Amino acid sequence: MSPRILILTILAAFTQPGYAEDAKPIRALMICGGCCHNYEGQKKIVADAISSRANVVFDVVHEGGDERTHQVSVYAKPEFWKGYDVIVHNECFGQVEDVAFVEKIANAHLVHGVPAVMLHCSTHSYRAAKTQAWRETLGMTSSYHEKNRDLKIRTVGTDHPIMTGVPAEWLDPRDELYVAEKFWPSATPLAVAYGVETKRDHPVIWLNNAGKAKVFATTLGHNDSTMQNAIWQEIVTRGLLWSVGKLESDGSPSAGYGPAKK
């Protein structure tokens, strides 16, 4: 299948009738910021990609500069998750050590059942805190990655609606392969990549039943080019829809949750 036909096949699932005049948009809170990434650009790439494919509106909190120890201010609010259907984590604060702070974030999902989308360095965030709550939420424990290189992604969750139309293999140029030190039993892999340094496969896209919440996660997305890839954008959009129960068995949005009419 040619790349053009492949992309058209994936896009077709998102052009089926899926908008209802009375459907309320999915309200998403996106948290971004921290070390090592172009969060100024990525917050727009992610929000635009998802909103162009699904009936989702975003509030974005971007802070912390390139610090690894920053504690995002919105997390200090009581019940910071209130009013949102899903939280999109695209943060990189790996050296936060405050256990109570980290467990409060995790418990928004584990205890209060708020769905989550975990992007790239969110998997490495909060790893310095002496608690497993964040790893339990993610469904994977990882503290380091292999050298930046081209990754051959292999689909393993071929029967899942999120992966409808996605090729059996595709190339993710110049990305970081996060090393899975533990893949939790509550998690289900959808795609993997082989680690040249570790000599084994590592999950790069997965689902997790985290306490009361449904969590979609991917470690792919170090560079803007990955997030600008149509395949990545479709998968992440579907992951968000799945997390809130608005993804159909054919990979299309539920009625009312396709792209909003202009």
Q: Tell me: the pLDDT tens digits for 219-241?
A: 999 999 999 999 999 999 999 99
4: confidence class by pLDDT, cuts 50, 70, 90 = low
- Distance from C-alpha of 231 to C-alpha of 164, rounded to nearest angstrom: 11
Torsion of CA 96, 100, 104, 106, to 10 degrees: 60
With a CB cutoff of 8 Å and minimum separation 6, the contacts of 44 are none
Query: Could you give all domains of the chain from N- to C-terminal order, each with its CATH number?
Result: 3-13+27-243 (3.40.50.880)
Residue 71 in tokens:
């504690």
Type of residue found at 172:
D
On the CB side of 108, CA atoms within 13 Å amount to 30
pLDDT of residue 260: 75
- Distance from C-alpha of 68 to C-alpha of 126, rounded to nearest angstrom: 9
Measuring CA to CA, how many Å separate 3 from each of 6, 81, 172? Answer: 5, 39, 14
The answer to whether the pTM exceeds 0.75 is yes
10: confidence class by pLDDT, cuts 50, 70, 90 = low
pLDDT at 11 over 70: no
| Region for 129 from its dihedrals, namely left if φ exceeds 0, alpha if ψ lies in -120 to 50, beta otherwise | beta
Kindly report, residue by residue over 20-65, the tens digit of the pLDDT.
455 899 999 999 999 999 999 999 999 999 999 999 999 999 999 9
pLDDT at 12 over 60: no
Kindly report, residue by residue over 101-132, the tens digit of the pLDDT.
999 999 999 999 999 999 999 999 999 999 99
Type of residue found at 193:
A
With a CB cutoff of 8 Å and minimum separation 6, the contacts of 3 are none
Beta sheet of 169-175, edge-to-edge order: 56-62, 26-34, 86-92, 116-119, 213-218, 200-210, 187-195, 149-155, 169-175
- Distance from C-alpha of 77 to C-alpha of 241, rounded to nearest angstrom: 26
Radius of gyration from C-alpha coordinates of the chain: 17
Q: Please name which of 85, 83, 81, 89 lies closest in space to residue 42, comparing C-alpha atoms.
A: 89
State whether residue 104 is helix, strand or coil. Answer: helix
